[in-house]
Amino acid sequence: MSARELDVLDLPHGRCVGTLHRPRTRTSDVGLLWVNFGYVPRDGHGGLASQASDALANAGVPCFRYDLPGLGDAPGPLPKVTHDFFPVVTGGSFTEVTVELVEALCAREGLKGLVVAGLCGGAVNAIFTAHAAKQFVKGLILLEPEMYVTEPKAADGTVQPIRLRPWVRQHLPEKKGLALSLLDQALTVKLPMEDVLKAVVTRAVPKQAFNYWGWMRLLTAEGKYSRFVPIPRKAILDFVMSRSGLPSVTNLPLSVAWKQWLDADRPVLVLTAKGKLREIFFDRINAGLAMKLEKPSYVHVRLSGTNHIFTTGGAIATVTKHLRSNWRLFAS
């Protein structure tokens, strides 16, 4: 059995408040550090991080869950608007304090290093941290990694919508003159009472449906209006994601850090919700970067019948099982 302890670390870039899961008998000189899942407190969605830490600690692995400054129990400034929080994460603003946390824990606990884990924005932070602290980070556990910038913004900070015509034109194959011509004709025809219709649609449909991520959520059945989209989502997604190169919304600094980590054969366990938006985009990024994923140091588990935060379909227990069975990746 393991024991839990509360902990507070005052670091140069802020105070971190955490929970330690200490094994009765330690069998690993490498520990596991969970960082916040986006803006969710250190317990994780549905207690995922907490339950997984208990299970691994009972197997002899020291585990740590910490709130970074401004999140959960840790004091610190945060953007007032939720949407403004995500660029903070995707831009790597938590990297410095997380590196300090990793180094402090390794020194205090007498560990060779830590595996850094997180979901969504936590996975983003884990990749940036691993890139900046290769000596201390011995592996990555990425749950639903988000490899794109949240949404493009205008200079005044407002969300810059991506309109239907440019979006569709961008994803049609090149040298299809007839298709493009017919598309342009269809989209440029002035409909009767077009302004009135546009006003009605704008009022009836959320603004998110008129930008890139609004459409991607609809196509992956992650939006609340997806059930009203009578189109072959899978076929369109396969077509869109089959294009070469990186999408314009790719988080390039994050992708570079990710590629360098894998090229160095550093160990990674990835878990994604099968067929959901982040898995589709993750696969597209890997293809665009020509990543070599057939290697012993890389394991990707795709979970069916669950959601982005792994709270449906018994996913928490399944994730915990995969963490325990794949810990051998980081044992060497």
Closest CA to 279 of 318, 313, 306: 306
Partnered with residue 302 across adjacent β-strands are 272
Of 217, 214, 94, whose CA–CA distance to 159 is shortest?
214
Secondary structure (3-state) at 293: coil
DSSP assignment of 12-38, as one string?
TTEEEEEEEEEESS---SEEEEE--ST
- Do the Cβ atoms of 275 and 148 come closer than 8 Å? no
Q: Which phi and psi angles does 6 have, rounded to 5°?
A: -85, 150
Task: Give me the pLDDT at residue 158, please.
Answer: 45
Which three-class secondary structure state does DSSP give residue 244? Answer: coil
Phi first, then psi: what are they for 286, rounded to 5°? -60, -40
Do 8 and 17 form a contact (C-beta atoms < 8 A)?
A: yes
For residue 34, which of 19, 22, 14 has the smallest C-alpha distance?
19
pLDDT recorded at residue 65? 98
What does each C-alpha distance from 276 to 29, 52, 53, 283, 300 come to in angstroms? 35, 23, 26, 11, 15
User: Rounded to the nearest 5°, which phi and psi values hold at 75?
Assistant: -70, 150
Q: Please tell me the predicted confidence (pLDDT) of residue 222.
A: 63
C-alpha distances (whole Å) from 258 to each of 7, 14, 37, 146, 291 are 30, 26, 18, 12, 10
Are 272 and 303 in contact, with CB atoms under 8 Å apart? yes
What is the CATH topology of the domain spanning 2-151+249-330? Answer: Rossmann fold (3.40.50)
Adjacency order of strands within the sheet including 298-303: 2-11, 14-23, 63-67, 30-34, 113-119, 137-143, 268-273, 298-303
CA angle 276, 278, 284 (to 5 degrees): 105
Residues in Cβ contact with 321 at an 8 Å cutoff, skipping those fewer than 6 apart? none
Measured CA distances, 57 to 26, 34, 269, 285, 327 (Å) = 8, 13, 18, 34, 12
Q: Which amino acid is at 183?
A: L
pLDDT in tens, 76-101: 998 888 878 888 999 999 999 999 99
pLDDT at 225: 59
pTM equals 0.79
Numbered ranges of CATH 3.40.50.1820 in the chain: 2-151+249-330
Per-residue pLDDT reduced to its tens digit, 18-75: 999 999 999 999 999 999 999 999 999 999 999 999 999 999 999 999 999 999 999 9
CA 322, CA 115: separation in Å to the nearest integer?
15
Each residue's pLDDT tens digit, 149-165: 865 454 444 444 434 44
Computed over every residue of the chain, the mean pLDDT equals: 82
Confidence grade of residue 1 (pLDDT, cut at 50, 70, 90): confident
Q: What is the SS3 assignment for 253? A: helix
